[in-house]
């Protein structure tokens, strides 16, 4: 779908009386722990804004409240990391919502309970179900409370809500919460045009990149365990880790404990151009993540003709086509062996790299933005 398709979707939304879209997300793109969900929102909202839709994006703040413009849409950061949900719900309950406003509710673990205060003209973006991630994010018994709210209590309010998610496997997870499949629309994320192949950048020696927030769910230390195992076969293997987050100290401790500074380098957050270079240089993209809505690093790397080895989880099925664009591994203990085998098979890597480029070519952020806007317009039209 082209920019014309996006403009048509925007006109359809306006024809149904909607002049503004308000979105609610836990974190914003400038948060130190921002990841794929925040990037997804920004890529879509900047395109909606360019098509003439007024977008207001409401998130928490880690510091002082502030409001500003980014890429054509307005960002309002107000409320702490955890009290922002109650703040929004209480404020909206006592606010008369204008009829020309539609709502995007980004459910990232903790719901906003939008059905209570915005029962109409609303779409929920839910990238994946957190379930066991709660044990990694919160101590007992708070983890059990979070899991109960997400999987048992909150779904009771969302039976009639329209959901958008990133993959069929994530849709399966959401359906298991009790959401009717007819209410679920799968819209995979896009791949930016900057991610393209350039074989002249490829490392002459085995090299792997791991991209993502340094957080418990991403399991970078388990990925390093697997890469250390692969290095017993591929002794020249080097690794770059891209990203930052709360696990940085633990990752640095792993590198020191395993005397790995000579072959593992932690790059932290990088620029867009540096990220493209990191993918192009690598022989493989590796992810040991425990949960994803969509493995964006797998398709970004794939667009650069870099195949992947990743955990066999819901969000990696779809972003990786197993046996075609990379390998999915169910057993973390076997990941090192799979990495070593693929590093040693140049012809197979090249075939997978070509297939990965073709797979990524069908993913466009403009098309994603248009499909999301179409879904919102059809939801508005049915209420």
Backbone torsions φ then ψ of 279, nearest 5 degrees: -65, -45
Measure the CA dihedral 56/114/129/9, to 10°.
Answer: -50
Q: How far apart are CA 73 and CA 53, in angstroms?
A: 9
Which residue ranges make up each domain of the chain?
3-190+364-381, 199-361
Does residue 1 have a pLDDT over 60? no
Reduced to 3 states (helix: H, G, I; strand: E, B; else coil), residue 68 is: strand
Tokens of 100: 């020309």
Q: What is the pLDDT of residues 214-265, one digit of tens each?
A: 999 999 999 999 999 999 999 999 999 999 999 999 999 999 999 999 999 9
Q: What is the dotted CATH code of the domain comprising 199-361?
A: 3.40.50.2000
Percent with pLDDT over 70 in the chain: 98
d(CA 249, CA 219): 13
166: which 2 tokens?
């990133």
The H or E element that residue 370 is part of is helix 365-381
* Average confidence (pLDDT) over 69-75: 97
Dist CA 102 CA 237 (whole Å): 50
Which range, of 8-17, 48-57, 89-98, 263-272, averages the lowest pLDDT? 89-98
Q: For domain 3-190+364-381, give the fold.
A: Rossmann fold (3.40.50)
pLDDT for residue 382: 79
Range in 101-105, 144-148, 355-359 the model is least confident about: 144-148
More confident position, 364 or 132 = 364
CA atoms in the 13 A half-sphere facing the CB of 75? 23
pLDDT score, position 255? 98
Mean pLDDT confidence for 11-22: 96
| Residue 222 CB neighbours (<10 A) | 17
199-361 has the same fold as 3-190+364-381:
yes
Where are the alpha helices (H) located in 51-141, listed in sequence order?
84-93, 114-117, 133-137
Residue 137's pLDDT band, with cuts at 50, 70 and 90, is low
Cα–Cα distance for residue pair 360/365, rounded to 1 Å: 11
pLDDT band at residue 3 under the 50/70/90 scheme: confident
pTM: 0.82
How confident is the model at residue 63, as a pLDDT?
77
Q: Could you please report the per-residue DSSP string of 129-179?
A: --TTHHHHHS-TTHHHHHHHIIIIIGGGG-TT-EEEES-HHHHHHHHTTT-
What the block records as the tokens of 262 is: 């000579």
pLDDT at 238: 98
46, 73, 36: which is closest to 58 by C-alpha?
A: 73
Contact 123, 101 (CB under 8 A): no
Q: Among 80-89, 176-185, 217-226, 269-278, whose mean pLDDT is lowest?
A: 80-89
């Amino acid at each position: 779908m082209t920019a014309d398709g996006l403009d048509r979707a925007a006109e359809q939304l306006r024809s149904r009386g909607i002049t503004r879209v308000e979105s609610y997300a836990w974190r914003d793109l400038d948060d130190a722990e921002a990841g794929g969900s925040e990037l997804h929102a920004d890529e879509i909202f900047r395109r909606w804004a360019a098509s003439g839709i007024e977008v207001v994006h409401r998130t928490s703040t880690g510091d002082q409240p502030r409001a500003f413009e980014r890429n054509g849409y307005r960002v309002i950061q107000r409320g702490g990391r955890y009290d922002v949900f109650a703040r929004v719900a209480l404020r909206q309950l006592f606010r008369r919502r204008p009829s020309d406003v539609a709502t995007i509710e980004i459910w990232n673990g903790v719901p906003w309970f939008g059905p209570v205060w915005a029962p109409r003209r609303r779409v929920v973006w839910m990238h994946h179900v957190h379930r066991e991630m709660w044990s990694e994010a919160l101590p007992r018994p708070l983890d059990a409370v979070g899991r109960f709210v997400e999987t048992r209590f909150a779904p009771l309010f969302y039976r009639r809500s329209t959901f958008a998610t990133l993959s069929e496997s994530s849709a399966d997870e959401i359906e298991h919460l009790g959401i009717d499949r007819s209410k679920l629309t799968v819209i995979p994320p896009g791949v930016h045009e900057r991610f393209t192949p350039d074989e002249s950048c490829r490392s002459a020696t085995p090299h792997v990149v791991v991209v993502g927030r340094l957080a418990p769910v991403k399991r970078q230390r388990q990925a390093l365990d697997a890469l250390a195992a692969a290095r017993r076969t591929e002794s020249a293997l080097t690794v770059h880790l891209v990203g930052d987050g709360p696990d940085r100290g633990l990752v640095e401790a792993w590198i020191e404990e395993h005397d790995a500074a000579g072959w593992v380098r932690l790059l932290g957050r990088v620029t867009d151009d540096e990220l493209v270079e990191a993918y192009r240089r690598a022989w493989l993209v590796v992810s040991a993540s425990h949960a994803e809505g969509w493995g964006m690093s797998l398709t970004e790397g794939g667009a650069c003709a870099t195949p992947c080895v990743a955990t066999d989880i819901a969000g990696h099925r779809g972003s990786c086509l197993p046996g075609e664009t990379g390998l999915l591994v169910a057993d973390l203990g076997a990941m090192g062996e799979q990495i070593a085998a693929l590093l040693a098979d140049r012809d197979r890597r090249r075939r997978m790299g070509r297939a990965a480029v073709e797979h990524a070519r069908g993913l466009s952020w403009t098309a994603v933005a248009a499909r999301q806007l179409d879904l919102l317009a059809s939801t508005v039209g049915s209420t």
